[in-house]
Structure formats: structure tokens, C-alpha cells
Structure 1
């Protein structure tokens, strides 16, 4: 379920990786910029295999630099992750009804304590926002706790779709 990506461009970010990883819901992505490597753990082993095969056949370019792709350590899906996914869980937190009080700084401050944030996306024309974490457990903790904050009472807080799961 875990794919190793090495030889990553030195200026690349976790967001850059997630912008090009496709084909399956991610449990976690760990990027070690100082070592130019990342480990991408998919929820579904078949999605990981398909991603690996596609990278092996077509190459995996990140910031116009070809990377090395291999397998990470094999792991089984923890029951808690399976339960979260069965409830449509993902690394992405959706905030519905977002207004001017919802800012990137506010979201980074309030959600940052739950884990590493990969991306914050505000869509003011639709009154929504998204906070993408690097780990599905972080988004789960965030949703559970943020719903108890009085500030967030007027907003709909739930899981959003993981863009890495797009084809």
C-alpha cells in the first residue's frame, strides 16, 4: 500500500506531490524534503499497485524532474482506518457555509494543532473551504474536535473528497 518516491526536486512541496498523485484515496503522505523522498500510503493496495505500475510505465515527473518509484514497507490497513473510510473519511476536511470570518490564517491556526496541513483551499464564490491534511487520522481528529468549537457551530464540518483519489 506504500509507494516510495525518491529523487524529488529540491523545491517540491507536499502539495506538489498531491497535485500529481492520482488513482486512490490516501491514508497518509510523508515527505522528507531534506532527503528528497516521500512515502505515499494508499488505503487500497490495488490503487497503490495501479499508481506504481503507471509510474513505472510512464515515469513520475514532479516539477519537470523524473523521480524514482519503488515500494515502501508493506503494511496492513488498521481497523480504525477501515472504519473511517467506511464512513467516507478522507484526509480532506470540508467547511460548508464559509463566510468572510473563515480565512486561511484562521484555518491554519485552528486546524494546525491536529496534524500537518498539506493544503488550504478557500472557495468564496461557493461559500466553502477545505483543509487537506497529510494523514487521514489528523482530519478525523480535527473534525471531532472542531465541531465542539463555538466559532464553528454555524458551519457544516465534514469530510471532503481526497483529490488524490481522482482518476
Structure 2
């Protein structure tokens, strides 16, 4: 007579027995030569209450020892780390991820229904790829704008710090620097972040960390387009060291046609200019505070208008200064009689005789022009009232002297 297996016997035969945990990079630590202790069926899962293999390790120097808290079945169901219960892809709480992807949690809360649901889930994972998340909603959903803005692009090892030393808080710690715990002021007990429940975090309800991140996302600044419609250039900063122009062009070309792309490796930045303003606005909206290349979040800003930039540079390079006393710019204008030409008549070109102010018509022409050369025709002077020179008078200035007029008895040639 065959004896049927009870539910308790079935669960014992299907307890988890794994060789390596499912961890995020932050919990795993930065030490590549990490050592772990493995205890088979050492603890029960805090979600499904089934025994599972417990791993314990130290993620690095001056950090606390960490261990797995939930089984791998529950971890694959939500695609979270077995220790910190944060999403493996974005590093965010489950409540934030489900709100961004609009995923409804259908995991049963009753112990009997939960046990039946987990058993069916184990059978499905044994038939298909066990490395992928078992939740169909996580497979079909893509990344949203909220997740790209809040996602961590690098490990956050600050979470692995030791706990606060309770003896130091009381003033009784005598270890000093050798104490493996932190000598800091503990968190305020009234702070909501100090009261976190692992089941609420797993089911995505009443999570104070998730609510804090949601408030931060709502207060994040936006990138408004400039008023000048001629600006079609985007500034891209914080670029990786090994990025090439072709890789950057291949990424930004999906938002519109690119007119020019200038890469400045020394400054780790680039300037992307689109042919149309609509393409530039679309690229700025999709990439601002969301674009991650090579594990680095890129800085996106609008470029400056070339016309306005030139005007600003011109004004800045030529400031208006007050006149300095004593310089020619501050002296009064000379008297009118000192001008050799009327204001309406421009002076002749510079010639040797001009140095001596010999501007007259003579045998040599205008101002020293030689014979055979056509003198220039000056413009007709405007009628100007005669100006009587004021000052000293020398005999050489007499027109009747120095042979200005020939004598009447002189022989004519």
C-alpha cells in the first residue's frame, strides 16, 4: 500500500540548497577575494518561512559582516538582493520600482496560500531558466523615466558600515580606535527611516526609504529649453575616458539628425548640434539626468547662442572707462584758426611737403606734384568767414617780401 507524502515531507525535500547567493554589487563588496561561510538550512526565510542556505561574509575592511535574509525563490520572484532587498537592476526599493513600472503585487499573504504559490513557482523555475526573474511583469516592462532618474549607477558601499557602538553612546567604550563599531551619534528614534520592516519592504508597502526617494524625484529640477529658438546644441559632460565619437553619435542620432558633434577628450565633454530645434528638445528631454554610459551618469545642458555670446564677449572685452585727467582725450578742442582746412574739406594725402604745411598751388602742382602730373581736383571750398590770425607776426610772413611779386623795372624773360 503506497503511502502519500504529506505537505511537510514535500517541503522538506524541496528546501533550498544553493552554492552561491543572489547579491547586489554593494552587498558583495569591493574585495574580489571574498570568503563566505555556508550553512545548509541554517535559517528560515523571513518571507516564506522555509529553511534555506545561509551565507555569511565580510564585504571589506572596516565593514560589518552580512548574511542572506530571504531564500532564493523569494529573491527571484521579486528580482531583489537576498540581503538588502533592493532591486538588482536599478538598486531601488521594491515600492519605487513597482510604482514606476505600474506593477501590482499578487503575492498571497496567507501562509497556506503562500506555501502553495511558492511550490508552483519552484516547479516553473525548474523547467525554465532560473537566472531570470520569475515575475512575468518584470520581464515585459521596460525602464521608465522615474527609474532612470533615481537608479544608482555605482555601488554604494556606505551601506556596509558597522553599526553604532552602544557602549560609546553610553560613554563606556574603552576600545578607542580598535572598536569595530561606529562611534557616531545614533539615528533619531522618531525618524521614520529608523523603523523599517523587512516584510513591508518586500511587499512594497509603508517603506519610508521608498517614500523619501519618491519625494526626491518629485523635487528634481527639469531642463527648460532656452528662449532663443536658434539654439540647437546640447552640452554633454562627465563622459567616460574611453568613449569615442562614433559611440556618442550612435546614441544621440536616435533623437534626430545631427549637424555636428565635437568631442573634447581633455575636458571629458562633447557638444552635439542638431539640425532642428525639435530634435534638440526631444534629446534633452530623454537624456537629462537619465543617460548612463560606461557606468557614469552624463550631464546634459543646453548650449549658448553664438550671436548672444559674441555680443556679451564684446561688451566684456571693451568696458567703458572714465577719462583720465591730463590725457589728450580730455583736453578741449583746438581753436578753429589752427585747422589748416575747413571742416567741410578733407586734408590732402600725406606727401613730403605736407610735413612743412606747404599746401598751395605752384609750379610743382598741389603740395609738391611734379611737372607732367595732373594735380588732383580739390572739392570746391565752402564759403568761410575770414579768420584774422591772432598771435605774433614776423617780417617773413609779409606777402610783399621774398620775391612774391616781381619788380616793375625787372627785365622780362
TM-score (norm 2): 0.19
Larger radius of gyration: 2
Q: Relative contact order, CA 8 A, sep 6+: which one is greater? A: 1
- With the length of structure 1 as denominator, give the TM-score of the two structures: 0.43
Larger strand fraction of residues: 1
